[in-house]
Amino acid sequence: MYTADTVIAEAEKWIGYLEKSKLGTDAQLQDKEWSPGSANVTWFWTWLDRHGCLSGLQGNAWCDAFVDFCHAVVGGVEKARKSLNGFSAYTPDSSNRFKQVGRWIEANGVPKRGDQIFFKNSVRIYHTGIVTKVTADTVYTIEGNTSSAAGVVENGGCVRAKSYPRNYAKIAGYGRPLYDNTPSRKPYTDSVKRGQGFIDQAFQTAVLASCSALLDVDGKYETKTRDACLAVWKYYANHQCGANLTLSNHNYGDSCREVAKKMQIRKGDTNVIVYVVQIILAAKGYYNGDMDAQYGGGMEAAVMDFQKESGLTADGIVGADTYGKLFE
């Protein structure tokens, strides 16, 4: 099975591993203590090269390679490739791959066991590891190419178990792999269809301003429908909250986050924003209730499931962070 537990178990096998001063046989490279050095030579590079994951990188910094290795050994190359959205030895690239598919958890979000943790310095994301445990205050990891010293240590030359405060300033965020036990969700296309028809009719001005044409009522939640939903959200913000958001701008940026503080929705609310959230949750496979603009118990459960799986606090309140994830 390819799960957080099995990947972490693989990582734990390598705690104490020291990078090598030179190339050797497979057995030598796998030996934790053989020929320690500072040449960034490891068994992990050899294995990844041999299995067509990352080629010709022996001798490069290997914290990201260690994470890729643990996933690929346990899940197989193709499953790991899909889970991590591709292999990369460059930590900024690896973090961006999670962001591209909406599986990025911000540093102030809620990580979970099996996530990939990323650290930043004043320039960029520069180190990574695997989350093994999360408490209210602390995140525990196993990392390659680090040391036992406190804090982030990049290029430290060994595999170590470490821990950090959850609010540690150097945590950039977390990537969420697609393990075998990750829920598989299918869109509720009939609900999306009803939603498309409603906003075409009721918010024609906003849809045209954002998309230049009305939506195809086809149940497909693609870029155009996402942009239209965001435009309706902005239209409501402008008319009900005194905002001045541009409907044709497809970004959910800082100005939207600020307005979102006035637009929280929760159980018991009834308004257009509830309806927009129902459309998106249905499209993402979380909500299969009535499309009625009423925030009831079924919708609250859907919101909490979405928040939990997105690494957010599962409180059922749709605020700035939850809107941000919904509009990704």
DSSP string, 141-181: EEEEEE-SSSS--TT-SEEEEEEEETT-TTEEEEE----TT
Q: Is the pLDDT of residue 308 over 90?
A: no
pLDDT at 19: 98
> d(Cα 206, Cα 246) in Å, to the nearest integer?
10
Residue labelled with tokens 């041999």: 50
> Which pLDDT value is given to residue 136?
87
What's the confidence (pLDDT) of residue 312? 84
Look at residue 79 in the predicted model and tell me its pLDDT. 96
The rounded distance, in Å, linking the Cα atoms of 59 and 169 is 29
Domains and CATH numbers, the chain: 4-175 (3.90.1720.10), 189-326 (1.10.101.10)
- pLDDT, mean of residues 44-66: 97
* Nearest alpha carbon to residue 9 among 179, 190, 260: 179
Structural tokens at position 196: 């498309």
Query: Beta strand 125-134 with 138-146: parallel, antiparallel or unpaired?
Result: antiparallel
Q: Which residues pair with 26 in a beta bridge?
A: none
Residue 303 has pLDDT above 80, yes or no: yes
Spatial separation of the C-alpha atoms in residues 201 and 206, rounded to whole Å:
10
The pTM for the full model equals 0.69
Distance CA 290, CA 299 (A): 9
